[in-house]
Amino acid sequence: MTTPSDLAGKVVLVTGASRGIGYATAKEVARRGAHVIAMARTVGGLEDLDDEIQALGGSATLVPADITDGDAIDRLGAAIFERWGHLDGLIGNAGVLGVITPLPHLAPDEFAKVMAVNVTANYRLIRSMDLLLRQSTAGRLVLVSSGAAVAAKPYWGAYSASKAAVDVMIKTYAAEMANTAVRANIFYPGAVRTAMRAKAVPGENPDSLPHPNDIAPALVDMIEPAYAATGQRFNIRTGQTTAL
């Protein structure tokens, strides 16, 4: 566990920040001294987050926007450039589960939605924030993925395919950034007490699962300037880091 001051003065963008893993991660980023740019659709959740960050003595910029709004992402990139001129960390957490069903039964619009949120939105983030990350002395990008990308369980076709695409996208981007100060990695959170998990596994006792607050420190460690690995996936369930 790093000290609270390791991210002091840094600027970090967290998506899906209004609840669950994103909410806990944004708080942890603020606790370590960074200014948080919190992006999510739910205004109420963002306002609650802002209250908690202020109680910690931190600061945040709230961005109420749909992650699939590519133009909004581009505007956000321009606003970050105008205000700070760089971005030190990007944690792409926003995601959807979609419908768990046999692949041939999956409606085209449901498949498209999963890909739009889990894949295309993250591509747009990378596209818009690339220059900003390069302008940092130690730009760090981490996307929250899932072991479903590898397991490819029956009925999880859309979600698994989307997370596999995320993994490959980061593997590619990390290779492209090899000669820069930017590091790009993947975080596998495992089963966590979130609304998405409750939807995926109804009837499961949530008290048997770790709280988002429990895993947030490990995720935020990956955007620390000292985190030098790139093109890797960290699986918090196993505690192992492996190449993508």
pLDDT score of 5: 58
Residues 22, 15 contacting (CB under 8 angstroms):
yes
Distance CA 54, CA 107 (A): 43
For the chain, 244 residues long, give each residue's pLDDT as a single digit of tens.
344 458 999 999 999 999 999 999 999 999 999 999 999 999 999 999 999 999 999 999 999 999 999 999 999 999 999 999 999 999 999 999 999 999 999 999 999 999 999 999 999 999 999 999 999 999 999 999 999 999 999 999 999 999 999 999 999 999 999 999 999 999 999 989 898 888 888 888 988 888 999 999 999 999 999 999 999 999 999 999 999 9
pLDDT score of 139: 98
Residues 216, 25 contacting (CB under 8 angstroms):
yes
Angle among Cα 67, 224, 190 to the nearest 5 degrees reads 60
pLDDT score of 2: 42
Residues 120, 112 contacting (CB under 8 angstroms):
no
Angle among Cα 21, 146, 215 to the nearest 5 degrees reads 35
Distance CA 185, CA 52 (A): 28
Residues 36, 8 contacting (CB under 8 angstroms):
no
**CA distances (Å), 224 to each of 138, 161, 170, in order?**
8, 29, 18
Encoded tokens for 215 = 């895993």
pLDDT score of 89: 98
**CA distances (Å), 199 to each of 62, 192, 211, in order?**
27, 12, 16
Active site residues: 145-146, 159, 163
DSSP string, 117-163: IIIIHHHHHHHHHHHHHHHSTT-EEEEE--THHHH--TT-HHHHHHH
Residues 238, 218 contacting (CB under 8 angstroms):
no
How many CA atoms are closer than 13 Å to the CA of 170, on its beta-carbon side? 30
DSSP-derived 3-state class of residue 200: helix
Domain 11-243 indexed as CATH 3.20.20.70: no
**For residue 92, which of 59, 127, 61, 57 has the smallest C-alpha distance?**
127
